[in-house]
Amino acid sequence: MEKQKLATRVGQIAPFQVMAVLARAKQLEAQGDDVIHLEIGEPDFVAVDAVGDAGVSAIQEGKTGYTSATGLPELKKAISEDYLRRYQVDVSPERIIITPGASGALLLMASLMVNAGDEVLMPDPCYPCNRHFLTQVGAMATLVDTDAKNGFELSLQKLAGYWSEKTSGLWLASPSNPTGAVLSRAYIEEAWQKVRSLGGHLLVDEIYQGLVYEGEDFSALSVADDIFVINSFSKYFAMTGWRLGWIVVPEWAIEGATKLAQNLFISAPSVSQYAAVRAFNADVLAECEARRQTLNARRRVLLDGLRELGLPVVAPAHGAFYVYVDVSGITQDAMTWCLALLEQEKVALTPGADFGVKDAHKYVRFAYTCDEERLKQALARIERFIECK
Ligand SMILES: Cc1ncc(COP(=O)(O)O)c(C=O)c1O
């Protein structure tokens, strides 16, 4: 019998380097070491109790079947009302397609707007899975060089130069993973105007929306109805494992997106959807706001500590829960440095190579997803590590 082979696209996907860090961290913990985890892009909170309780009730009441493909009408309505209340933007519920996480939304977006052979521009560094969603549809990501001096912002002046007849669109994220940088309204306006004149689509991944500490927390939907926007319950609502997100599409794309949602997922998880309806009540939003303030306090501790250590933060860390740090003053290889730091001082970080190509060996990402005390301990351990090198 012929030997069975994996599809070639599987070979094109590089495993995350942080997995090696994580695997070693687990071994160290199994042997009793106290590892401080600053590598994981996941809040250290769980869903607010009222939301969890709503999920339990949904199970008890047997609300566990498929929902309509684009999501529960009451959830779509709640999201629509939230856009109006918090971001003063009118988004009709019909334009909101509920998906299994932002991941599901990204796959739907690639399937909806990108043809095989197309290219999509995105900044280097950015969220690594974007590239692979494009691979699934036979397309390709083109990582655009950015400059650390400009906070890794993709230069819109140079956009036309990167655009080719194969380019389908531009994918941005604000706040950004891995840098925490927040794009300004003026930037999104200019990006939209340029992308439109080049005949492409613009996607803004707003999965860290709400987690903004400096600058304007706005939605790209307030700039134009024809911009595609992705969001999720994973980060602001701390519901990573509930696997629930959404995409907002323009009116003209609703029918196509609905067909894809039906075929790709049938529906997003029903229990999660019933729980998520509760997330937009004032008490839950107040708790999420308190958490945002907690994250902001941690961010300040981390930024102060890094400054004292002389480690440059290379992008304005104004949002999400990440800080992107230049370690090239102490190492030529961030991945090896991360592994040595873990081995010696039991602090886990994510190497820059997981997010980009250009100069990635210079950078590491810190996630401030542990409390201030632990962050201070981590900084003290890093200081000791640097000093004894
Ligand atoms: C920028 C960005 N987009 C999308 C995702 C996927 O999130 P999820 O599928 O949990 O909603 C992540 C996860 O870390 C992310 O950082």
| Domain range 49-280, its CATH number among 3.10.105.10, 3.30.2010.10, 3.40.640.10, 3.80.30.20 | 3.40.640.10
Q: What is the pLDDT of residue 389?
A: 65
The angle subtended at Cα 37 by Cα 33 and Cα 38, nearest 5°, is 150
List, chain by chain if needed, residues with CB within 6 Å of any ligand 1 atom: 41, 101-103, 127, 173, 177, 205, 207, 232, 234, 240, 245
Question: What distance in Å separates the CA atoms of residue 110 and residue 131, rounded to the nearest whole number?
Answer: 10
138: DSSP letter: T
Please say whether the dihedral angle defined by the alpha carbons of residues 303, 308, 309 and 313, taken in this order, is positive or negative. Answer: positive
Q: What is the pLDDT of residue 19?
A: 86
Q: How many CB atoms lie within 10 A of CB 360?
A: 18
From first to last of the 389 residues of the chain, give the pLDDT tens digit. 679 999 999 998 888 888 889 999 999 999 999 999 999 899 999 999 999 999 999 999 999 999 999 999 999 999 999 999 999 999 999 999 999 999 999 999 999 999 999 999 999 999 999 999 999 999 999 999 999 999 999 999 999 999 999 999 999 999 999 999 999 999 999 999 999 999 999 999 999 999 999 999 999 999 999 999 999 999 999 999 999 999 999 999 999 999 999 999 999 999 999 999 999 999 999 999 999 999 999 999 999 999 999 999 999 999 999 999 999 999 999 999 999 999 999 999 999 999 999 999 999 999 999 999 999 999 999 999 998 86
**Which residues in the chain are classed under CATH 3.40.640.10?**
49-280
Best residue among 127, 130, 208, 264 to mutate for probing ligand 1's pocket (most ligand atoms within 8 Å of CB) is 127
H helix or E strand, kind and range, residue 99? strand 96-99
Residue 77, helix vs strand vs coil: helix
**63 CA → ligand 1 middle, Å:** 26
| Domain range 8-46+284-387, its CATH number among 3.40.50.1220, 3.90.1150.10, 1.10.1840.10, 3.30.300.130 | 3.90.1150.10
Place of tokens 């042997």: 31
pLDDT in tens, 17-42: 888 899 999 999 999 999 999 998 99
Place of tokens 């440059």: 312
**Which residues in the chain are classed under CATH 3.90.1150.10?**
8-46+284-387
Nearest atom (ligand 1) to Cα of 245: 11
pLDDT in tens, 110-162: 999 999 999 999 999 999 999 999 999 999 999 999 999 999 999 999 999 99
**364 CA → ligand 1 middle, Å:** 18
Q: How far apart, in Å, are the Cα atoms of 150 and each of 16, 144, 211, 380?
A: 26, 13, 21, 29
